[in-house]
């Protein structure tokens, strides 16, 4: 992904959701994308899939997948790509599951769309096996989505996404709506998927704790910009960007100090983002230069950081 810039045209003016973001994802790697609402992390996932709403505009940049720019593909190549090469799972499983369609028919449609001539029995067997692998009882294959529990629905959505063994799975806040215990189960499942299928994953979340458990590398986003990226363990142990640091200390650690260290201030108004470094109004290190100049993303060792003081 190179220099991707995406804006939304809203009634109250132009909002730049992604500002020249460049990111690379290697084969069989899990990249955690961490950010709060408005950071642009979901726009990122949608842009890769070319699923952005009509009022969105890709102003510049490219998304190279296997040597081809997804943003320049025609409809037919896109159709081939989606589901087979890249699949996406959303926070709400109903975004991928149709409430009036049985689980099995979701699989049947996917196979048909991609030119597999499976008999009903073959679809049934394949779908049931996949569900079972993802931890959903086989017999649920004949059920409608609402007959599954919340965790099962999300597992079914993951099974469907993985049915054609895509090379990239985009998971957009897929555990956010789930309870803590189910969330942990889904993260375990993704870890197994990574091990077994060697699927690359873009794991989009606001929860640094989940990233720590799953991702090889992490990219931290703030107000449409990439502020820091690096190997997960290192970023967590030694964050270089003040926002990453603040995000890590803002979550109280169980068993640790009970003093809270909130991030001061409010998230920026994206219609009118602060000049210079977008984090400067909330940053303890901010100085004159931060108000004036946008810090470039620099590599420091194996880390990418966009901060004048890193």
Partner 1 sequence: MTGLSHATTREILSVSRLKVYFPLKRTIEEVLARKQKVLKAVDDVSFSMEEGSIMALVGESGSGKTTIARTVVGLVNPTSGRVLFRGRDVFSLRGEEFKEYRRKVQMVFQDPTVSLNPRMKIGEQVKYPLDVNKVSTPEQRREKAIKTLEAVGLTPPEDFYNRYPHQLSGGQRQRAAIARALILDPELLVADEPISNIDVSARAQILTLLRELKDQYHLSILYITHDLSSAWAITDKVAVMYLGKIVEVAPTTEIFKEPLHPYTQALMSAAPILGEHTPGKRLVLRGEIPSPINPPPGCRLHPRCPFATETCREREPEILPIGKDHTVACHLYSKS
192 in contact with partner 1 (CB under 8 A): no
By beta-carbon proximity to partner 1, the closer residue of 4 and 307 is 307
236 in contact with partner 1 (CB under 8 A): yes
Contacts of 183-192 with C-beta under 8 Å, sequence gap 24+, read: 183/210, 185/135, 185/151, 186/151, 186/154, 186/155, 186/158, 187/213, 187/214, 189/134, 189/135, 189/155, 189/158, 190/30, 190/158, 190/214
By beta-carbon proximity to partner 1, the closer residue of 161 and 214 is 214
11 in contact with partner 1 (CB under 8 A): no
Q: What is the distance between the alpha carbons of residues 194 and 188, in angstroms, rounded to a whole number?
A: 10
260 in contact with partner 1 (CB under 8 A): yes
Q: What is the distance between the alpha carbons of residues 265 and 210, in angstroms, rounded to a whole number?
A: 25
Q: How far is CA 93 from CA 96, 223, 240, in A?
A: 6, 26, 35
Kindly state the smallest distance separating residue 232's Cβ from partner 1, in Å: 7
Residues 275-304 that bind partner 1 (CB under 8 A): 282
Q: Is there a contact between 214 and 191 (Cβ–Cβ < 8 Å)? A: yes
Q: What is the distance between the alpha carbons of residues 61 and 78, in angstroms, rounded to a whole number?
A: 18
For the chain, list the strands marked E by DSSP. Answer: 2-10, 13-21, 30-34, 56-62, 64-65, 68-69, 86-89, 168-172, 200-205, 217-222, 225-231, 298-300, 303-305
Residues 63-82 that bind partner 1 (CB under 8 A): none
Kindly state the smallest distance separating residue 181's Cβ from partner 1, in Å: 5
User: Could you say which of 29, 71, 209, 281 contacts partner 1 (CB under 8 A)?
Assistant: 209
User: Could you say which of 171, 229, 247, 307 contacts partner 1 (CB under 8 A)?
Assistant: 247
By beta-carbon proximity to partner 1, the closer residue of 126 and 232 is 232
User: Could you say which of 2, 5, 114, 206 contacts partner 1 (CB under 8 A)?
Assistant: 206
By beta-carbon proximity to partner 1, the closer residue of 185 and 294 is 185
Q: What is the distance between the alpha carbons of residues 93 and 171, in angstroms, rounded to a whole number?
A: 11
User: Could you say which of 22, 28, 29, 36 contacts partner 1 (CB under 8 A)?
Assistant: 36
User: Could you say which of 25, 87, 108, 248 contacts partner 1 (CB under 8 A)?
Assistant: 248
Binding span for partner 1 by CB under 8 A among 63-71, 73-81, 173-181, 299-307: 173-181
Positions in the binding site for partner 1 (CB under 8 A): 36-37, 149-152, 179-185, 187-188, 206-210, 212-213, 232-233, 236-237, 246-248, 250-255, 258, 260-264, 266-267, 282
């Amino acid at each position: 992904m190179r220099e991707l810039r995406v804006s939304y045209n809203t009634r109250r003016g132009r909002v730049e959701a992604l500002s020249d973001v460049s990111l690379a994802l290697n084969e069989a790697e899990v990249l955690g994308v961490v950010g709060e609402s408005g950071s642009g992390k979901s726009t990122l996932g949608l842009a890769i899939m070319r699923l952005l709403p009509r009022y969105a505009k890709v102003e510049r940049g490219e998304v190279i997948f296997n040597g081809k720019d997804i943003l320049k593909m025609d409809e037919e190549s896109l159709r081939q790509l989606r589901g087979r090469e890249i699949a996406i799972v959303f926070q709400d499983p109903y975004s991928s599951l149709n409430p009036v369609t049985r689980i099995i028919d979701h699989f049947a449609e996917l196979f048909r769309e991609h030119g597999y001539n499976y008999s009903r029995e073959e679809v049934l067997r394949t779908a049931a096996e996949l569900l079972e692998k993802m931890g959903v009882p086989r017999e649920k294959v004949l059920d409608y989505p609402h007959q599954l529990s919340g965790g099962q629905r999300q597992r079914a959505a993951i099974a469907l996404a993985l049915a054609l063994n895509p090379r990239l799975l985009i998971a957009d806040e897929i555990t956010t709506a789930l309870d803590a215990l189910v969330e942990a189960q889904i993260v375990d499942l993704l870890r197994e998927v990574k091990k077994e299928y060697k699927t690359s994953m873009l794991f989009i979340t606001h929860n640094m704790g989940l990233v720590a458990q799953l991702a090889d590398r992490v990219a931290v986003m703030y107000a449409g910009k990439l502020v820091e990226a690096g190997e997960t363990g290192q970023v967590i142990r030694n964050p270089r960007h003040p926002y990453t640091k603040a995000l890590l200390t803002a979550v109280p650690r169980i068993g640790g100090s009970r003093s809270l260290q909130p991030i001061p201030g409010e998230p920026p108004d994206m219609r009118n983002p602060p000049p210079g470094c977008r984090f400067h109004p909330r940053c303890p290190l901010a100085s004159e230069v931060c108000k004036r100049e946008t810090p470039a993303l620099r590599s420091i060792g194996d880390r990418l950081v966009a901060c004048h003081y890193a």
